[in-house]
Amino acid sequence: MEITELTVKEIVEKIKKKEIGVKETVLAYLKNIEDKDNNIKAFLSINNEEALIKAEELDKENEKNGQIFGIPVAIKDNINVYGTETTAGSKILKGYISPYDATVVKKIKEQNGITIGKTNCDEFAMGSSTENSAFFNTKNPVNTDYVPGGSSGGSAASVAANEAAAAFGSDTGGSIREPAGFCGIVGLKPTYGRVSRYGLIAFGSSLDVIGPLAKNVEDAAILTNVIAGFDHKDETTANLPVENYTDFLKRGIKGKKLGVIKEINDFKIQDEVSITLKEAINKLEIQGCEIEEVSIPHLKYALPTYYLVAPSEASSNLSRFDGVRYGLQGCGDNLRDFYEDTRTKGFGREVKRRILIGTFALSEGYFDEYYLKASKVRRLIAMDFEKAFEKVDALILPTTATTAFKFNEKKNPLEMYMSDIFTIPMNLAGIPAISIPFGKDNKGLPIGIQIVGKWFEEGEIFQISYALEQSKES
């Protein structure tokens, strides 16, 4: 078996046993990138020189310490990596070299992971197909006629194409889970506040979370171990102890109560997805899970709520891209013209659309009606989940209503927004959710199943999703 086909866990074991070298590993991935990425286009930039230097250093170490020792990981381009170009998929940051590491990157480096490159994404993580990248489209490695999902499409594709052993992305409304689902890999959106956002270029600050994309649940658990925890640089991180997530995997799920959300039937779901969900539920029941129907009455308001909260925050977060200190600089005879030129040239259509929506929703006279009302509905949605979790340990639902779509298939923004109806509610509530591949549709496109847990109970969803993953093989 090729190194690049191995899991994170397997590679670390082999390196620690000195069966393979770190440099050998990195070279294997770089070779794969060279061979495939002209077609897949997962990466915006490759960090090959630095990666090889680091690999040589690690090979010299006698003590092979670190949970991801020598693992080449891909980083979504909206996460700052010191000394590398960090664009967030936007022209406005083309050529911007970050002067610092995001806390997550710092933690990856502390565990001796190797950042092999920066992956393509929808501009400022706004999108569900990576088609909103200012640079190019990324293809779905499963079938290159299809989108990889988004916004962490590059990260998902890099793992699915074995161009990286694992990757990190960000999830504001489904941006890890949806591409993981489309590309047939595992993706976790941790609880809001479990992972530091310091160094993640903000989109919707109250929704954004960094999480792993990996080949399987165990790898996702290892990567979550690496990045989770309180950060004094991010006041929204929780000062709660981090459990060892890999400990949960093999505990079994006998007696676990799993909720099925009644209201998802109000949405149009692709037949094969519905069938696959039933199969998954069936597999879990066989293993001793109890299934119960629960209600999230405000589910149908999640999408409109999200499209007020997220753009409002985004409109403010993106104000710093003004051409004054860094990034693309426009021109103009006066300040106003200068700003206008910079931002007209620098931002793409979708980003502009959301800035407009957000600016409007926060405007005097509209704030109460839009932003404030959305914040209240958001609270109601969170309370719905709270209530559901009084009855069950976790929830199960599809990651998306359909499998991956083709390029240019969703021309209407609203249609595109609909791709996230099953992932957005968890961001609004701040709860953790994992997408794992379970079956394929008749076109051979992967179907993602989502397990949703209580706040800070990532362990629980690793436990259940691991059981589900194992049941596939049985």
Partner 1 sequence: MYKPTIGLEIHIQLMTETKIFCGCSTEFARVPNTNICPVCIGLPGALPVLNEKVVEYGVKLGIALKASINRFSSFYRKNYFYPDLPKGYQITQYAIPIAKGGYLEIGPAHQNRAGSQKKKIRIEKAHIEEDSGKSIHMGDITESEFSLIDFNRSGIPLLEIVTLPDIETPDEAYDFLILLRSIVRYIGVSMGDMEKGAMRCDVNISVSKDETMGTKVEIKNLNSFRSVKRALEYEIERQIGALKKGERIVQETRHFDEKEDTTKPMRTKEELNDYRYFPEPDLPPLVISDEFIENIKNTIPELPNTKEERYIKEFEISSDYARTIAYHPKLAEYFENIVKYVGIKMAKDVANFIMVDLSAYLNETKKEIDKIDFTKEKFKELLDLIDNKTISRNIAKEVINESLRTGKTPSEIVSKKGCTQITDEDGIKKLVIEVLNENETQVKQYLSGETKVIGFLVGQTMKKSKGKANPELVNRILYNELENLRK
DSSP category for residue 162: T
Beta bridge partners of 450: 397, 435
Which one from 36, 54, 76, 256 is the annotated catalytic residue? 76
Q: Please state at what angle helix 22-40 crosses helix 48-60, rounded to 10 degrees.
A: 160
First and final C-alpha spacing in the chain? 22
Contact present, 183 and 440 (Cβ < 8 Å): no
Indicate which residue of 90, 129, 151, 435 is catalytic: 151
Query: Tokens 């690049």 label which residue?
Result: 4
Among residues 429, 441, 407, the alpha carbon closest in space to that of 140 is found at: 407
Does 205 participate in catalysis according to the annotation?
A: no
User: CB atoms < 10 A from the CB of 444, how many?
Assistant: 10
In angstroms and rounded to an integer, the radius of gyration of the C-alpha atoms of the chain is 21
- How many residues belong to the chain? 474
Q: Give whichever of 11 and 102 is closer to partner 1, judged by the CB atom.
A: 102
Give the integer Cα–Cα distance in Å for 195 and 450: 20
Quote the least distance from Cβ 117 to partner 1, whole Å: 18
State the nearest-atom distance from the C-beta of 5 to partner 1, in Å.
33
In angstroms, the CA 158 to CA 8 distance is 14
Q: Which two tokens stand for residue 117?
A: 């490159």
**Neighbour count for residue 414 (Cβ, 10 Å):** 9
Minimum CB distance to partner 1, residue 235 (Å):
5
Q: Which residue has the tokens 């340990």?
A: 393
Nearer CB in complex with partner 1: 162/170: 170
Smallest distance, partner 1 to C-beta of residue 123, A: 13
Q: What is the phi/psi pair of residue 447, to 5°?
A: -115, 130
Residue 27 or 380: the one with the smaller Cβ distance to partner 1 is 380
Q: What is the DSSP string of 361-429?
A: HHSTTTTIIIIIHHHHHHHHHHHHHHHHHHH-SEEEEESSSS---BTT---SHHHHHGGGTTTHHHHHH
Closest contact distance (angstroms) between CB of 314 and partner 1 is 11
Nearer to partner 1, 235 or 473 (CB): 235
How far is residue 195's CA from residue 199's CA, in Å, rounded to a whole number?
Answer: 11
* Smallest separation, CB 100 to partner 1 (Å): 5
Q: Is 76 a catalytic residue?
A: yes
Q: Which is nearer to partner 1, 81 or 165 (CB)?
A: 81
* Residue among 93 and 186 whose Cβ is closer to partner 1: 93
* Spatial distance between the Cα atoms of 128 and 419, rounded to a whole number of angstroms: 7
- Choosing from 152, 175, 312, 419, the catalytic residue is 175
Q: How far is the CB of 287 from partner 1 (least distance, A)?
A: 40
Q: Is 462 left (phi over 0), alpha (psi -120 to 50) or beta?
A: alpha
Which of residues 201 and 397 has its CB atom nearest to partner 1 in the complex? Answer: 201
**Where along the sequence are the contacts to partner 1 (CB under 8 A)?**
78-80, 86, 88, 93, 96, 98-100, 102, 197-202, 204-206, 232-236, 312-313, 315-316, 318-322, 324-326, 335, 339, 359, 362-364, 367, 371
Q: Which is nearer to partner 1, 456 or 462 (CB)?
A: 456
In the block, residue with structure tokens 């940051």: 93
Interacting residues of 185 by C-beta distance below 8 A, sequence separation 6+: 156, 159, 160, 213, 214, 215, 437
Residue 175 appears among annotated catalytic residues: yes
- In whole angstroms, the minimum distance from the beta carbon of 98 to partner 1 comes to 8
Active site residues per annotation: 76, 151, 175
